[in-house]
Amino acid sequence: MPRVLVAEDDARLAGMLTELLTSEGYEVVVATDGQRALHLGLTEEVDVLILDRGLPILDGLDVLGRLRDNGVTVPVLILSALGNAAHRVEGLDGGAEDYLAKPFDIDELLARLRVLRRRGASTTPAVRFPGGMLEVGNRTVVTSRGDRVVLSERESALLEQLARRPTQVFSRAVLLDTVFADADDPGVVDTYVHHLRKKFGRDLIETVRGLGYRMGSLS
């Protein structure tokens, strides 16, 4: 089931979108302010983000910019009452893949979401992290110096998991379940953390004592 994050502070519109998208087979997560939208965008796996510009606490374009700065590449459709040409250009230049003005046609919204999902599925994602970028399709890390390092399948899967949620601390149990599902020894997590640190330096992955690991940066 595809997941969509709806960042909309109008409770009535958020409810309508939730009902509509659920009937179309989506799992819907709702944020009613920019701070919550940013948190969910950084910590939840979603296929598409529908983003209002006029969110309280944190403006929608600020949310978008911070998500992109943290390497979150989820396709974004801005849905906003600010709909003139200058506003659309600002939103698209700010990192959105599409822009739809309110009021909107329901069939057009659904069609645009289908396009974004297909586009996301057909491209090779690149996950950015401090000091570098992981090209997921070919399991290659490109450093800020321009070096290219090819990873094993498990190294790449572990780095991708950490880099996609750079502020989240992952326990060994969670990483074992999500990255190394065919293994039953939690020590395999430590082994591959060691492999990545050996290739890129100890700062790449931070140990959070008693809790697990989170993304660091290339030295």
Contact call for residues 66 and 38 (beta carbons, < 8 A): yes
Domain closes at, from 122, 137, 167: 122
Contact call for residues 6 and 14 (beta carbons, < 8 A): yes
Please count the structural domains in the chain.
2
Query: Quick one: 52 and 139 in the same domain?
Result: no
pLDDT in tens, the chain (219 residues): 789 999 999 999 999 999 999 999 999 999 999 999 999 998 888 889 999 999 999 999 999 999 888 778 789 999 999 988 899 999 998 889 999 999 999 999 999 998 888 766 545 578 889 899 998 877 889 888 888 899 998 899 999 999 988 889 999 999 988 888 777 788 999 999 999 999 999 999 999 999 999 999 987
Residue 50: alpha-carbon gap to chain centroid: 13
7: domain CATH number is 3.40.50.2300
- Domain of residue 116: give its range: 3-122
DSSP helix, strand, coil percent of the chain (3-state; round to 5): 45, 20, 35
Query: Quick one: 72 and 135 in the same domain?
Result: no
**Who's near 107: CB < 8 A, 6+ residues apart?**
none
Q: What is d(CA 110, CA 31) in angstroms, rounded to the nearest whole number?
A: 19
Domain closes at, from 88, 122, 156: 122
Query: Quick one: 147 and 88 in the same domain?
Result: no
- Give the alpha-carbon dihedral of 62, 64, 65, 71, to 10 degrees: 150
| Whole-number pLDDT of residue 6 | 97
pTM for the full predicted model: 0.59
